[in-house]
Amino acid sequence: LFPNAKFLFMVRDGRATVHSIISRKVTITGFDLASYRQCMEKWNHAIELMHEQCRDIGKDRCMM
């Protein structure tokens, strides 16, 4: 769609993110809002994948 797109990878503190998800009751597939630990694990895994994808496309296209 946008072959020359560039990205900026910014990460919010996971504790704040999960607290917001749980307190606002945001529905995210695979997240168990009754388990803070499980939400933290899911969030951490998602961020790790995004970090890897950013690294894979290179510094010229994704700034971390």
Q: Measured on CA atoms in the order 21, 27, 42, 37, is the torsion positive or negative?
A: positive
How far apart, in whole angstroms, are the C-alpha atoms of residue 40 and residue 53? Answer: 20
> Average pLDDT, stretch 28-33?
96
At 49, phi and psi to the nearest 5? -65, -45
> Average pLDDT, stretch 17-22?
98
Q: What is the pLDDT of residue 22?
A: 98
Whole-number average pLDDT of the chain: 97
Where are the domains positioned within the chain? 13-59
> Average pLDDT, stretch 40-50?
98
